[in-house]
C-alpha cells in the first residue's frame, strides 16, 4: 500500500514537471494573442486590483515601520553627534588650558630672567590644593623634596612673588602666601627707595602692609616694591633673593607714615587665582 502511494506521488510530480515544461515552451512559441498569454493577462487583470488594494491597506503599516527605523537611526546619529561634540569640547578645553599654561610659564620666565635670579634653580609646579582662614593662607603644589624643593624657597608666578615654601614632603610642598600671618618679606621701594618689611594685614587677606625700616622718606602711591635680599654683617639674611617683584603702594598717608611707618601694598600676583608657579632655589637664613 505504501509503495503504491509513493509511485502515485512520483507519477504526479513527473506529470506536473512535464506540464510546466510544455506550458513554458508553448508560451515562448505562441504569439502575444495566444491562449496562454490571454489566460495570463486575464489572471493579471483580476489580481492587479487586489494587489493595489493590499498595497494601500498595508501602506500605513509600512510607513509606521519606516518611521520607527528612521527615528532610531536619527537617535543613533544624534547620540553619535553629541559624543563627537563633547570630545571636541574636551579637546578645545585642553588646548585652551595648554595655551594659558604656556603664557603663564612664559611670564614666569620673564620674571626669573632678572640678573639677581639667573643663578637660581627653577622648579615649575602646579597648585593642587588651597587652605585659607583668617590667619593662614597656604597652597599645596605638586613638587617636593624629590624634585629639589627645600623649605624657605621663594615661590613666584608670572606676576611676581607669592610666598615661600613652608614645608616639604617627597612629592609635594606647602606654600605660605604673602597674606599668611606667618609670612614677612624684607622689601625695598624701587629707584633706591627705603627698606621695609611686608606682611599681611590682620583681618584683611587681600591687603599687605609695608612697615618702613628707614623712616623719614615718603613713599608715593604707585611705587613698586621688590624683595631686597637683605643681609647684614652678622650673617642675617632674607629668605628671599633680591629683585623679585612684590606689589605696588596702594595708598600712602604722610601722617600715617610719620607716626606708624606703615603703608598699604597691593600684590602684583592674584593670590586667589594661582594655578602655575615656580619654586626658586633654596632659601636660607633666620629672617624674612
| Ordered structural domains, the chain, with CATH | 122-280 (2.40.10.340)
Which phi and psi angles does 51 have, rounded to 5°? -65, -40
The average pLDDT across 47-57 equals: 59
Q: Give the residue, 82 or 122, on which the prediction is more confident.
A: 122
Nearest to 238 by CA among 172, 180, 185: 185
Nearest to 209 by CA among 255, 247, 159: 247
Give whole-number Cα distances, 159 to 103, 107, 178, 218, 270, in Å: 12, 7, 13, 26, 8
Nearest to 130 by CA among 122, 118, 138: 138
Note the pLDDT tens digit of each residue in 225-260: 999 876 554 545 567 888 899 999 887 655 554 555
Distance CA 201, CA 164 (A): 18
- Contact predicate 278/106, CB 8 Å: no
The average pLDDT across 54-76 equals: 67
Unique residue bearing C-alpha cell 602666601: 177
Read off the C-alpha cell for 97. 588650558
The average pLDDT across 212-219 equals: 70
Which residues pair with residue 212 across a beta bridge? Answer: 196
pLDDT of residue 108: 84
Residue 46 clears pLDDT 60, i.e. is over it: no
pLDDT of residue 235: 46
pLDDT of residue 287: 42
Give whole-number Cα distances, 14 to 2, 8, 28, 220, in Å: 19, 10, 21, 121
Residue 34 clears pLDDT 60, i.e. is over it: no
Q: Give the residue, 147 or 99, on which the prediction is more confident.
A: 147
Q: Give the residue, 22 or 158, on which the prediction is more confident.
A: 158
Note the pLDDT tens digit of each residue in 166-202: 999 999 999 999 988 888 888 888 877 788 888 887 7
Cα of 146 vs its chain's centroid, Å: 27
pLDDT of residue 284: 42
Q: Give the residue, 258 or 287, on which the prediction is more confident.
A: 258
Amino acid at each position: 500500500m505504501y509503495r503504491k502511494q509513493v509511485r502515485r506521488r512520483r507519477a504526479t510530480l513527473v506529470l506536473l514537471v512535464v506540464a510546466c515544461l510544455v506550458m513554458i515552451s508553448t508560451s515562448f512559441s505562441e504569439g502575444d494573442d495566444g491562449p496562454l498569454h490571454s489566460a495570463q493577462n486575464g489572471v493579471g487583470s483580476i489580481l492587479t486590483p487586489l494587489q493595489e488594494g493590499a498595497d494601500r491597506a498595508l501602506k500605513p503599516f509600512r510607513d509606521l515601520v519606516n518611521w520607527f527605523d528612521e527615528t532610531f537611526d536619527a537617535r543613533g546619529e544624534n547620540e553619535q553627534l553629541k559624543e563627537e561634540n563633547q570630545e571636541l569640547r574636551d579637546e578645545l578645553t585642553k588646548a585652551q588650558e595648554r595655551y594659558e599654561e604656556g603664557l603663564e610659564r612664559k611670564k614666569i620666565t620673564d620674571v626669573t630672567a632678572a640678573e639677581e635670579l639667573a643663578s637660581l634653580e627653577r622648579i615649575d609646579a602646579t597648585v593642587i590644593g588651597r587652605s585659607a582662614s583668617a590667619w593662614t593662607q597656604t597652597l599645596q603644589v605638586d613638587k617636593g623634596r624629590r624634585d629639589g624643593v627645600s623649605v624657605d624657597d621663594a615661590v613666584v608666578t608670572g606676576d611676581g612673588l607669592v610666598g615661600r615654601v613652608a614645608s616639604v614632603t617627597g612629592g609635594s610642598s606647602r606654600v605660605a602666601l604673602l597674606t599668611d600671618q606667618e609670612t614677612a618679606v624684607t622689601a625695598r621701594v624701587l629707584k633706591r627707595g627705603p627698606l621695609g618689611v611686608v606682611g599681611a594685614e590682620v583681618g584683611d587677606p587681600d591687603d599687605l602692609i609695608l612697615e618702613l625700616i628707614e623712616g623719614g622718606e615718603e613713599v608715593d602711591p604707585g611705587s613698586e616694591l621688590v624683595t631686597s635680599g637683605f643681609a647684614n654683617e652678622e650673617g642675617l639674611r632674607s629668605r628671599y633673593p633680591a629683585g623679585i617683584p612684590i606689589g605696588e603702594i596702594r595708598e600712602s598717608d604722610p601722617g600715617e607714615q610719620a607716626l606708624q611707618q606703615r603703608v598699604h601694598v597691593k600684590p602684583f600676583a592674584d593670590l586667589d587665582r594661582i594655578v602655575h608657579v615656580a619654586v626658586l632655589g633654596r632659601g636660607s637664613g633666620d629672617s624674612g
